[in-house]
Amino acid sequence: MKKFINAADRVVEDSLAGMAAAHHDLIKVHYEPNFITRAGGPVKGKVAIVSGGGSGHEPMHGGFVGRGMLHAACPGAVFTSPTPDQMLAATKAVDGGTGVLHIVKNYTGDILNFEMAADLAKEENIHVNAVVTDDDVAVQDSLYTAGRRGVGGTVLAEKICGAAAEAGADLETVTALCRKVNASVRSIGVALSACTVPHAGKPSFTLEDDEIEFGIGIHGEPGRRRAKHASADELAAMMMEPILTDLPFTKGDHALLFVNGMGGTPLIELYVLFRKAHAIAAQHGVTISRSLVGSYITSLEMAGASISLLRLDDSMTKYWDAPVVTPALRWGA
């Protein structure tokens, strides 16, 4: 294992300290329990949005804390859910008196910990709503499993809902918008190589030179199936097919196309994928009116990519375009 780390059990804290130093104008890092808030205090009279999850997915979620997006993020250990004491402290720190929305990716640990935190916050008279994101079409059978995983669509939900909260929407409106974004987005991921969790010290799975893992989540867990490696155009087609048919997207839709790197794939390759995914959408009659390309929800150093497609309406488009000032996303301000 060759990594820029000092010790496996210090990775999260050392990285948080680096973030705090790099972005002191935007964010404030709190320790024991660990959470990140905006540099300013709570915004009176505006809904606050808190998210969180295991570390190892940077810039998600800490990199999305700032004006127009999240109010706080709770980083757990690498690929391990944060704990309720973190979420409770973050929720209390950012509550502006009009309620807090928790955006939770659908993983059993994340859900249980956020539920406990919401129960504890309610005991302190903070109104908390929660929305669980589950946009991963790789998981087909959600009746007998923990259900579809929350992946790339989460980034889009956090941006759009953050803008709505900034514009003064109330808790029920922001909550409903978050559910709508989640219901309108579909994603799938492909790995070209595995990743190594620092405290595990070895890769979570191994892929031969000519193999890919199709339908991966974001924790180095195996995907829907193993397949032969193919050209970028063929892989983009493999990925777009289940996305387009699942929602389903139909002729005349306007959509946001998000091509995301898993941490070890360069932007040049993400644009190669975007080119084909964009063309396939066009063939399907779907107009790509907004886009995002880059590594925003990652799995450590995994080489791979995910594609998310979000069907837009006027309100989502307006909030997507609204100003955002965070370490990882910044425009319009």
Partner 1 sequence: MSGGLDVAVLTAWLGRVAVRYAAEQGYLCDLDAAIGDGDHGANLARGFTAVVAKLGQPASPAALFKSVGMTLIGTVGGASGPLYGTLFIDMGKAAGESTTLDAASWAKVLAAGLAGVAARGKAQPGDKTMIDALTPAVQALQGETDLTAALTASAAAAVHGAEATKKLIAHKGRASYLGERAIGHQDPGATSLAMLLQGLASEAG
Please tell me whether residue 196 binds partner 1 under the rule CB under 8 A.
no
CB contact at 8 A, 52 and 101: no
Q: Is the peptide bond before 219 cis (omega within 30 degrees of 0)?
A: no
Q: Within 52-91, which residues bind partner 1 (CB under 8 A)?
A: 76-77, 79-85
CB contact at 8 A, 42 and 96: yes
Please tell me whether residue 96 binds partner 1 under the rule CB under 8 A.
no
The residue (of 64 and 107) whose beta carbon lies closer to partner 1 is: 107
The DSSP element (H or E) to which 28 belongs, if any, is strand 27-30
- x/- letters, 22..51, toward partner 1 (CB under 8 A): -----------x------------------
Please tell me whether residue 113 binds partner 1 under the rule CB under 8 A.
yes
Q: Within 208-227, which residues bind partner 1 (CB under 8 A)?
A: 219, 221
Per residue, the 3-state secondary structure of 103-132, as one string, reads EEECCHHHHHHHHHHHHHHHHCCCCEEEEE
d(CA 204, CA 218): 12
Please tell me whether residue 20 binds partner 1 under the rule CB under 8 A.
no
Q: Which of these ranges, 23-31, 62-70, 101-109, 263-271, lies near partner 1 under the rule CB under 8 A?
A: 101-109
Least distance from C-beta 113 to partner 1, angstroms? 5
As a residue count, the chain comes to 333
Least distance from C-beta 199 to partner 1, angstroms? 8
The residue (of 19 and 78) whose beta carbon lies closer to partner 1 is: 78
Least distance from C-beta 146 to partner 1, angstroms? 5
Task: Please give the angle made by the CA atoms of 167, 155 and 91, to the nearest 5 degrees.
Answer: 65
d(CA 72, CA 171): 16
CB contact at 8 A, 192 and 229: yes
The residue (of 145 and 289) whose beta carbon lies closer to partner 1 is: 145
The SS3 call for residue 214 is: strand
d(CA 175, CA 327): 24
The CA-atom distances, in angstroms, between 222 and each of 56, 205, 235, 237 are 17, 7, 17, 20
Please tell me whether residue 13 binds partner 1 under the rule CB under 8 A.
no
Least distance from C-beta 5 to partner 1, angstroms? 18
Please tell me whether residue 115 binds partner 1 under the rule CB under 8 A.
yes
Please tell me whether residue 139 binds partner 1 under the rule CB under 8 A.
yes
Closest to 47 measured CA to CA, from 150, 159, 129: 129
Least distance from C-beta 114 to partner 1, angstroms? 9
Please tell me whether residue 202 binds partner 1 under the rule CB under 8 A.
no
Residue selected from 35, 64, 107, 320 as contacting partner 1 according to rule CB under 8 A? 107
Question: Which residues are part of the catalytic machinery?
Answer: 57, 219
Would you state the structure tokens that stand for residue 180, as one six-digit string? 């709508």
The residue (of 35 and 79) whose beta carbon lies closer to partner 1 is: 79
The residue (of 77 and 165) whose beta carbon lies closer to partner 1 is: 77
Backbone Cα Rg of the chain = 19
Would you state the structure tokens that stand for residue 12, as one six-digit string? 């999260």
**Contact residues: partner 1, CB under 8 A:** 33, 76-77, 79-85, 107-109, 112-113, 115-116, 139, 141, 144-146, 199-200, 219, 221
